[in-house]
Structure 1
Amino acid sequence: MALVLGLVALAGHIALLLWGTRMVQTGIQRAFGPKLRSFLGHALKNRLNALGAGLFVTAILQSSTATGLMAAAFAAGGLVDLVPALAVMLGANVGSTLIVQVLSFNIAAVSPALILIGVVMFRKASNHQIHDLGRVMIGLGFMILALHQILDLMSEFEESEALSWVLESMSDVMLLNIIVAAILTWAAHSSVAVVLLIMSFAAHDLIQPFQAFALVLGANLGTAVNPVLEGDLGDDPAGKRLPIGNLATRVVGLAIAMPFLDKIAELAPLMAADYARAVANFHTAFNVVLAVLFLPLLGPFSKLLIKLLPEKVDETDPTRPRYLDPAAKETPMVALGQATREALRLVDVLGEMLEGARNGVTGSDRKALSALRDKDNVIDHINTAIKTYLTSIDPEELSEADKLRLDQILLFSTNLEQAGDVIDRGLLPHLSKRLRRGLSFSEEGQKELKRLFDRLTNNLQTAASLLVTQDERMAQMLAREKAAFRKAESEATQSHFIRLRKGDLNTSATSSLHLDVIRDLRLINSHLVAAAAYPVLEEKGLLLESRVQLGEPD
């Protein structure tokens, strides 16, 4: 019965330790989260910086899992390569051992003071950052208190025959110790808690160095299993590369260490004066050696992971680039042609958005308008893919004409993305507001708006043709459309005011919405002109600072 009560108490103390760890983690994330994320993102430029960043952020957050999630998010978003992401995890693993080193000292006396200070900061501070730092102080106090209670409990059960029998029955079976510690770490979601528990066993001579080191190996394995089994990795195998790569490094480390574990255990007295400190030092040494071993090998290791876990290609995904062939970048002329084809996809998607918005002038389907907003995400993804593709081409391989063409494609893509933003953030909300309020544009107002939509659609097709042909006369024609569209906007506005003076009820009710829609259409047209006409006219020397020098069409 005493053993059962003791196990319940032990579970409670471990729970307090985990809760304290969570409070520290969430407090730091709330107080400095964006800054830490930004710091980590900037550090992911090469493997050495990434290693140091992973170590530092984990030491601050007290959670290698949190650091790994941030690195995985960067890797999944294509913002960093797999090599620096793996380096971050190596650093995070070392960082988690530093937490064990600090908490292994006897600092129980500071626990009440930390909790008191933390409560005062948490309850009284009006500053959000100080409030969150109060949470951190409380969490640290809980962690130290829990560790002290675990040590006291272990001293009570030092002579327990049942606990001694369990630990002794496992003592000579290395693999069993590794499996048990891995399961405990997976269940506790914290290698820190399990390693500190192992240190407590060692401090009270309940286990010998060989068994303690085997348990530490298991704890290192268990903490890498969690992200693989429980992470939100999706259906794409590529999303599993980082957690599986991290697990693989641990497995390789275990495979190397296990045959020599008995020899390493004999060196325990040289690692530290007491066995508990030796456990902490072995934990740190294991992860440092792994980092040193794998850091130079991350290049071929990442290639192996990419080969074994290829990216899942969803041919039906509209956000996926279709023509940006990486191999084509070796021949810039071909790569620019591929990028042009991809940019024309923006025209198709933007045209669908305009057609849907045109239907929204008279339609009543709010869901159809909401669905159009998803198309802006498609434009954003394609635009980002085009920019990433073009800017990754070696500038030394580009001629002056190639550089000019590359800039034209980038300008076209960027302006169409901005036109999509005008539809998403301006035009569609205005049309949705009409439906929510149960309003209708006047019959004449509907005709005016639809004429402007039709004119805008024609200009979009002209811009698409101009991107391909670079025809000077077509550029002049599209540039004239800016002034013509401005005139059409002015005429539509004047007609709108005339209907207002006549007392048209529909016109009065939709006055501001009508003018807002016209303004948005003019902004979209301006982006189309800037996307396709201006680059051609500038190259021909026809684009002046204040106006376009236009000749008479043939």
Structure 2
Amino acid sequence: MTHLLNLLAAIALLVWGTHLVRTGILRVFGANLRHILARSVGNRFTAALSGIGVTALVQSSTATALITSSFVGQGLISLPAALAVMRGADIGTALIAVVFSFDLSWLSPLLIFIGVVLFIPRQASTMGRIGRILIGLGLMLLALRLVTASTEVLMQAPAVKALLASVGSDLLLEITLGAVLAVISYSSLAVVLLIATLAASGGVPLEVALGLVLGANLGSGLLAVLTTARSSIEARQVPLGTLAFKILGVMVAAPFLGWWLLNVRPLIGESASVVVIFHLMFNVMVGVAFIGLTNPVARWTQKLLPKPEKNASGERPNHLDPSALSTPSLAISNAAREALHQADVVESMLLGVLEVIRKNDLKLAEDLRKMDDSVDALYSSIKYYLTKISREALAEEESRRWTDIISFTINMEQIGDIIERVLIDIEDKKIKPGRNFSEAGMAEICELHARLIDNLRLSMSVFLNGSVRDAQKLLEEKARFRDLERAYATTHLGRLSENTVQSIETSSLHIDLISDLKRINSHICSIAYPILDSAGALAPNRLRQPALADNNL
């Protein structure tokens, strides 16, 4: 029992080491890898080469599939180009398996030691994350050595020999078992390395090992399909097309396992080398032989998963792609894009308020109040999406961006609530009683409203670009708006003293309305504070002018 637990622990350590390497590389180089993929899809061959390079670095074709799927979902690359990238991605992960099949156990303690030295002092820095990658590589090499030691002991047990003999009698069972292991471990690379190690130590007959390798390849395709199951149709098409290629490859390769063992095995020698080279040649065969089928497979995939028809309800793409969560920088970008859409809805509500005041349009007021539900729903979705991004995975700048997005969406949600209450007041105190603002009072409201729209659009620019100059301007507008609100409250009181009938009838609504507009403006202008604070341009109670002069963009 102890030896079995040792083997299971070694397998878990191998999977964990693979996870550390994959997530570490995505955290450090995720944005650069996305740029490489996006720029290399001019034709299917350069796309395949970029897939080889990126996957060799990430050590996970599944991770490459998720990145590529998000590109297709956003319309950045075409589906055939994405499928070509995935043909190269499978070759890339197979090449890494070949590298790890060599005896590199002597590197394990060195990598772990250097990794810990880099990671502990500065965990959130780039060097700390590189240390995390080195720790993962060291753990993978250590785990492979532990798997070998544990297997040699377990192979002496008669029950284990009987179990392996039963598995070896059915190729379909071997393929199924390999696929299940790849899905459970979230890494076909870890499974292939495990199979190669078991084959080298005699834990698994070679003919069984090759069947398990076919299953592991199939499992990696199935894993990507499951991971993107809740993504957009466009994002789900890439994993489905990739799975189709893997199924075709398995169907072609399965009948030739006996031929491989008979003719190629003597040329290679060691069992572990036979396994990883078979894995490599399988993926090279699928990549080279089937790369010309990217367009037909893409068309078949699009027929199986057709894009939904856009309806009159204004259905829009949702930028909160779950498959992007494995790449924090991409997920942060998606959340920011969705936050800007939330601001667009708030702008529509704010523009409609003036129309309701001018035209006494109860139907428009009702429609605008319903839009607040959309603002609230967007806020909840963005907040939930951001909470699923690991804060540990974010660099310092990305962590600040995470906080800025949360702050921005909170302010937009609160503005939506204020607008809803304003509309209710307008209905109850103006439209239903049939009252109107005085000409001077309406001019004041229009002036404040126009400034509010301008400030909202400026705040969206500040949120998007982080311009210190625009943030300074936004904060200056806050002061001007406050002064205008006070001045207009004073002139309104002057009209009351002159017994202006319209001003008397709408006095309560007028004062409340300009006060609510000032509150909305305060929420809008609060977007500037994080930008100015990061630039060192804020004093405790006022703008620090010299700092602003030094940090203007």
Query: Normalising by the residue count of structure 2, what TM-score does the alignment of the two structures yield?
Result: 0.63
The answer (yes or no) to whether the contact 2:206–2:271 under 8 Å persists in 1 is yes
Offset of 1:149 from its aligned partner?
A: 0.5
Cα 1:356–1:434, aligned 2, differ >3 Å: closer, same or farther? Answer: closer
Deviation at 1:261, TM superposition (A): 1.6
Name 2:80's counterpart in structure 1: 83
- Mapped to 2, the partners of 1:447 and 1:509 lie a distance apart of 11
Q: What is the match of residue 239 of structure 2? A: 243
- How far did residue 9 of structure 1 move? 2.2
Q: Which residue of 1 aligns with 2:487?
A: 497
Q: 1:448 aligns with which of 438, 443, 458?
A: 443
Distance in 2 (alpha carbons) for counterparts of 1:364 and 1:301: 48
Q: Tell me how far apart the structure 1 counterparts of residues 64 and 412 of structure 2 sit (CA, whole Å).
A: 40
Residue of structure 2 in register with 1:123 after alignment: 120
The separation in 2 between residues aligned to 1:502 and 1:133, in whole angstroms, is 64
Distance, in Å, in 2 between the alignment partners of 1:183 and 1:501 is 76
The residue correspondences of 1:457-468 to structure 2 (distance < 5 A) are none
C-alpha spacing 1:429/1:148, structure 2 compared with 1 (3 Å) = same
**2-structure distance, mates of 1:200, 1:348:** 57
Q: Distance in 2 between matches of 1:49 and 1:364?
A: 54
Q: Contact 1:430–1:513 (CA<8 Å) still a contact in 2?
A: no
* Structure 1 contact 356–369 (Cα < 8 Å) conserved: no
Structure 1 residue 252: deviation in Å?
0.6
Give the whole-Å Cα distance in 2 for the aligned partners of 1:303 and 1:131: 44
Once residues 427 and 163 of structure 1 are traced to their aligned partners in structure 2, the CA distance between those partners, rounded to angstroms, is 62
2:83 aligned partner, one-letter code? L
Q: Take 1:286 and 1:204, find their aligned partners in 2: how far apart are those partners?
A: 23
CA contact (8 A) 2:101 2:193 kept: yes
| Equivalent residues, number | 409
Instruction: Give 1:260's aligned residue.
Output: 256
Q: 1:21 aligns with which of 14, 18, 23?
A: 18
Q: Do 1:233 and 1:239's aligned partners in 2 also have CA atoms closer than 8 Å?
A: no
Q: Which has the higher contact order (CA 8 A, sep 6+)?
A: 2
The verdict on how the C-alpha distance between 1:177 and 1:367 changes in structure 2, with shifts beyond 3 A counting, is same
Partner of 1:396: none
1:431: how far off?
Answer: 7.7
| CA apart distance, 1:283 | 0.2
1:170-189 equivalent positions in 2, closer than 5 A: 170-189=167-186
Q: Is the 8 A contact 1:353 1:375 kept in 2?
A: no
Deviation at 1:312, TM superposition (A): 2.0
Question: Does the CA-based 8 Å contact 1:101-1:280 persist in structure 2?
Answer: yes
User: What's 1:284 paired with?
Assistant: 280
**Cα pair 1:369 1:432 within 8 Å, conserved:** no
**1:70 Cα offset (Å):** 0.7
Change (3 A) 1:447 1:428: farther
For 1:209, the equivalent position in structure 2 comes to 206
CA contact (8 A) 1:238 1:312 kept: no
2:53 equivalent to 1:63: no
1:110 aligns with 2:100: no
Of stretches 150-159 and 37-46 in structure 1, the one that deviates more from structure 2 is 37-46
- Corresponding residue number in structure 2 for 1:330: none
Shift in alpha-carbon separation, 1:266–1:353, aligned structure 2, 3 A? farther
Give the 3-state SS of the residue equivalent to 1:310 in structure 2: coil
Q: CA deviation at 1:164?
A: 1.7
C-alpha contact (below 8 Å) 2:229/2:236 kept by paired residues:
no
Match of 2:295 among 280, 290, 299: 299
Maintained 8 Å contact 1:168/1:207: no
Q: How does 1:278-357 map to 2 (within 5 A)?
A: 278-319=274-315, 354-356=351-353
Q: 1:453 Cα deviation (Å)?
A: 9.3
The correspondence of residues 502-521 of structure 1 with structure 2, limited to 5 A, is none
TM-score by length of 1: 0.63
Residue 351 of structure 1 deviates from its aligned partner by 6.5
Q: Using the alignment, how far apart are the partners of 2:145 and 2:222 within structure 1?
A: 28
Task: Tell whether the 8 Å contact from 1:349 to 1:375 is kept in structure 2 after alignment.
Answer: no
Structure number with greater Rg is 1
Gaps of 5+ in 1: 322-346, 378-423, 457-489, 521-554
CA distance in 2, matches of 1:295, 1:435: 56
Q: Percent identity, aligned pairs only?
A: 32
In the alignment, is the contact (CA less than 8 A) between 2:152 and 2:202 conserved in 1? Answer: no
Verify: 1:229 aligned to 2:208, yes or no: no
Q: What is residue 331 of structure 1 aligned with on the other side?
A: none
Give the C-alpha shift of residue 46 in structure 1. Answer: 2.5
After TM superposition, the structure 1 stretch with the greater mean CA deviation from structure 2, 135-144 or 225-234, is: 225-234
1:50/1:84 contact within 8 Å kept: yes
Segments of 5+ residues of structure 2 without an aligned counterpart are 318-343, 380-408, 427-436, 452-479, 495-507, 525-553
Aligned residues: CA RMSD:
4.5
Q: CA deviation at 1:319?
A: 3.7
The 1:171/1:509 distance shift into structure 2, 3 A limit, reads closer
Query: Aligned letter for 1:247?
Result: L
CA distance in 2, matches of 1:151, 1:210: 19
Distance 1:427 1:166, change over 3 A: closer
Give per-residue Cα distances to partners, 1:411-440, cap 9 Å, x unaligned. xxxxxxxxxxxxx99999778679999xx9
Structure 1 residues 356, 188: closer, same or farther in 2, change over 3 A? same
Change (3 A) 1:446 1:294: farther
Question: 2:449 and 2:213 mapped to 1: Cα distance?
Answer: 70
Partner Cα distance (1:231, 1:427) in 2: 30
